[in-house]
Homo-oligomer: A and B are copies of this chain.
Amino acid sequence: MSYRHPDREQLRIDEVLTALGNPVRLEAVRILNGGGDHNCSMLQTEVGIASKSTMTHHWRVLRESGIIWQRPSGRETALTLRREDLDARYPGLLDSILTGRAIDAAGEPGA
């Protein structure tokens, strides 16, 4: 199985913003931004979503908007943030979004 990914030049800001405008997907991107490969099952556990079909939808939205690479890896799929492509296409965007997420989190009860 292979997955369709847009080229860097095919990225669209509204699709990127819609993809990141969801707490689960934004949390997944925050984790991926920490570096390294993650497989779907591990990352699903890390973001705390029980439903595999829900996460399959989230991975597809992130992949089709050009935010992650999704590659077959044995019986799993590996996920990687397309940091270089995002920074090249939209300088400063991902950093300001991840910083914004941290600002929100710092203001929440229990933070």
Residues of chain B within 8 A (CB-CB) of A23 are 14
Residues of chain B within 8 A (CB-CB) of A9 are 107
Residues of chain B within 8 A (CB-CB) of A91 are 96, 99
Q: Is A85 an interface residue (CB 8 A)?
A: no
Q: Decide if B17 touches A17 in the complex (CB within 8 Å).
A: yes
Residues of chain B within 8 A (CB-CB) of A19 are 21
Q: Is A41 an interface residue (CB 8 A)?
A: no
Q: Is A40 an interface residue (CB 8 A)?
A: no
Contacting residues of chain A (1-53) with chain B, CB-CB under 8 angstroms: 9, 11-23, 26
Instruction: Report if A101-B13 is in contact (Cβ < 8 Å); known contacts: A90-B96, A92-B92, A96-B93.
Output: yes
Q: Decide if B97 touches A12 in the complex (CB within 8 Å).
A: no
Q: What are 20 A-B residue pairs whose CB atoms fall within 8 Å in the complex?
A: A14-B20, A14-B21, A14-B22, A15-B21, A16-B21, A16-B100, A17-B17, A17-B20, A17-B26, A17-B97, A18-B18, A20-B21, A21-B21, A90-B96, A90-B99, A91-B96, A91-B99, A92-B99, A93-B96, A96-B96
